[in-house]
């Protein structure tokens, strides 16, 4: 039963466009692709569409090389490559609001490739503690709602939006329960499986996904796994795109148990619920702000929250013995913030290891040697 559920998650996570196309064919409704990381899928769901967070593909980049330089992050290059290859033709619209310079370049290139596609931009304010942040975020979501209403030709009423919010909250809560079980050693799920669960939530029909997570939880509770015994580590980083599962497998193969993460294809995505009472657009604007307070993100600027402090707290709460930072190559926000994290971990004598990841193939054996060495260091420190 557990493996069957996990297979469904894996299928959607590894073939997101095929999954969305199948949904469209079965439901005869529209599919709205979005860029990560702050798209309020609830709005698109309330409009009767399938919100699909566009994913980095596994394919080697070919045609996309003629649109963006190689010194861009794998996510932006891959998205542009997919657009150029026609993979997004079945989408009814693409919407995005996050402000990262590479993402803006990708958006322009995607629009150029798909001149007949509705490509909408609702710029989210990235300065998070200004007096006007909430108002501006709400305005952006009002604009997005209008775009969606134009797309489907119908108004989105508050009651329907409220129902979507409840469904999305439930989905997040259930996945957070899995995270809590992982922390306490009761989940029995690998890092690869955890990624599939979260990533498929970005792709699948939310009700279907939620039902599957409920079943999975019940199955795990009915058959508690043995407690893991590896070195307990926290995984940090990787925003728009997930780390390659081969990297996750490699880390675990070095005697590591991942007990927590703040990956976007992980806890970051499901960290924060939307308030279910009152004006739903107000609630979404609050959610946008609360996400950055809950799990700070280096793509936002907010002087009164610290990602490095959050990570130290997370490591402590998870009883992790160290942290591996996975940095997608050329990810500027991460490159800006990393020295703060490095300094904080060094100050607090918490071991951490930085690994730069690439869209193209990585020398896994070389990385493995580094992780094995890191694990030895962690063990020796514990023993000392």
Partner 1 sequence: MNTTVQETKKANKLAATKPGGKLVNEYWEMVFRAKEEGKLVCWYEGSAINPFFQAADVVWVHGEAYSAMLAARHLEGPAQKAAEERGYLKELCSYARTHLGCAVSNQRQQNEPDSGYVNMADDKNLATRLPAPDFIVSAYAYCSTGQQWDEMTTRLFGKKIPIFNVSLPWIWGAKPDAGYLRGQEWEETSQYVAKQLRDMVKFIEQQTKRQFDWDRLRELMGHVKRASELRLEGMELCTARPAPATFFDWIAAIAPINNLPIGPHLVDFFQGMKDEIALRVAKGEGAIPNEKYRLYFDGIMNWNKVGWLAEKFAKYDAAVMCGRYTHFAFWQEPGLIDLKDPILGMAQNYLICPNNHSAPILIDETMKLCKKYDVDGMVIHASRTCRAFTNPQYMIAEAATKRLGIPTTMFEGDVTDESFYKDELLNSRVEAMLEAIDAKRMGGGSPSMVSDMSFLNRQAAESAPVTFHRG
Q: Which is nearer to partner 1, 54 or 68 (CB)?
A: 68
Closest CA to 51 of 10, 23, 83, 80: 23
CB 354 within 8 A of CB 327: yes
Tokens of 25: 């064919």
Among 71, 226, 277, 366, the residue binding partner 1 under the rule CB under 8 A is 71
Residue found under tokens 């629009």: 111
107 vs 247 by CB, closer to partner 1: 107
Q: Strand, helix or coil at 357?
A: strand
3-class SS at 273? coil
Q: How many residues line the site for partner 1 (CB under 8 A)?
A: 54
Q: Least Å distance between CB 227 and partner 1?
A: 36
Q: Please identify which residue in 23, 337, 351, 359 interacts with partner 1, judged by CB under 8 A.
A: 337
Q: Which of 141, 201, 283, 44 is nearest to 291 (CA)?
A: 283
* CA separation for the pair 309, 293 (Å, rounded): 11
| Least separation in angstroms between CB 354 and partner 1 | 9
Residue numbers 107-146 binding partner 1 by CB under 8 A? 107-109, 111-113, 115-121, 123, 125-127, 130, 132, 136
Query: 230 to 269, contacts with partner 1 by CB under 8 A?
Result: none
Q: Between 56 and 205, name the residue whose CB sits nearer to partner 1.
A: 56
Is position 161 an interface residue for partner 1 (rule: CB under 8 A)? no
> Could you tell me the two tokens for 343?
């300094």
User: Helix (H, G, I), strand (E, B), or coil: what is residue 94?
Assistant: strand
Phi, psi for 227 (deg, rounded to 5): -65, 135
- Residue partners of 381: CB distance under 8 A and separation at least 6: 321, 351
Q: Nearest distance from residue 1's CB to partner 1, in Å? A: 45
Distances (CA, A) of 378 to 90, 351, 373: 49, 7, 9
CA 307 from chain center: how many Å? 16
Q: Whole-number minimum distance, CB 52 to partner 1, in Å?
A: 18
Pull the structure tokens for residue 51: 């919100």
Cβ proximity to partner 1: between 7 and 332 the closer is 332
Piece of the chain touching partner 1 by CB under 8 A; list 173-181, 310-318, 337-345, 364-372: 337-345
Contacts of partner 1 in 292-331 (CB under 8 A)? 298-299, 301, 303, 329-330
Judged by beta carbon, residue 290 or residue 354, the one nearer partner 1 is 354
Sole binder of partner 1 in the list 72, 179, 269, 288 (CB under 8 A): 72
For 176, residues 6+ apart whose C-beta sits below 8 A from its C-beta are 267, 270, 271
The least CB distance from residue 67 to partner 1, in Å, is: 5
Question: Are the CB atoms for 236 and 263 separated by under 8 Å?
Answer: yes
For binding to partner 1 (CB under 8 A), which residues are involved?
A: 63, 65-69, 71-72, 84, 86, 99-102, 104-105, 107-109, 111-113, 115-121, 123, 125-127, 130, 132, 136, 147, 150, 298-299, 301, 303, 329-330, 332-333, 335-340, 342-343
């Amino acid at each position: 039963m557990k493996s069957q559920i996990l297979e469904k998650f894996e299928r959607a996570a590894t073939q997101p466009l095929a999954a969305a196309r199948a949904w469209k064919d079965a439901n005869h409704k529209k599919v709205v692709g979005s860029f990560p990381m702050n798209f309020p899928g609830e709005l698109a769901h309330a409009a009767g569409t399938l919100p699909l967070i566009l994913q980095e593909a596994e394919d080697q980049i070919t045609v996309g090389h003629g649109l963006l330089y190689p010194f861009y992050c794998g996510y932006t290059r891959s998205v542009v490559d997919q657009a150029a290859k026609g993979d997004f033709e079945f989408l009814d619209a693409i919407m995005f609001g996050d402000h990262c310079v590479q993402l803006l370049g990708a958006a322009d290139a995607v629009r150029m490739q798909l001149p007949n596609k509705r490509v909408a931009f609702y710029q989210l304010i990235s300065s998070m503690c200004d007096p006007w942040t909430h108002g501006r975020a709400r305005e952006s979501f009002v604009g997005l709602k209008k775009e969606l209403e134009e797309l489907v030709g119908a108004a989105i009423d508050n009651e329907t939006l409220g129902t979507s919010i409840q469904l999305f909250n439930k989905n997040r809560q259930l996945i957070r329960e899995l995270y809590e079980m992982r922390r306490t050693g009761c989940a029995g799920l690998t890092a690869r499986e955890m990624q599939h669960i979260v990533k498929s939530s970005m792709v699948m029909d939310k009700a279907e996904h939620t039902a599957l997570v409920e079943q999975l939880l019940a199955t795990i509770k009915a058959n508690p796994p043995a407690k893991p015994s590896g070195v307990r580590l926290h995984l940090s980083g990787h925003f728009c795109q997930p780390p390659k599962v081969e990297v996750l497998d490699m880390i675990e193969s070095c005697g590591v148990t991942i007990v927590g993460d703040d990956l976007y294809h992980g806890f970051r995505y499901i960290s924060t619920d939307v308030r279910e009472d009152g004006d739903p657009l107000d609630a979404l604007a609050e959610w946008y702000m609360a996400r950055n307070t809950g799990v700070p993100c280096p793509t936002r600027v907010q002087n009164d929250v610290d990602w490095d402090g959050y990570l130290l707290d997370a490591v402590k709460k998870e009883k992790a013995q160290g942290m591996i930072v996975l940095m997608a190559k050329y990810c500027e926000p991460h490159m800006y913030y990393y020295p703060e994290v490095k300094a904080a971990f060094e100050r607090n004598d918490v071991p951490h290891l930085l690994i730069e990841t690439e869209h193209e193939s990585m020398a896994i054996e070389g990385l493995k040697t580094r992780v094995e060495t890191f694990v030895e260091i962690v063990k020796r420190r514990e023993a000392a």
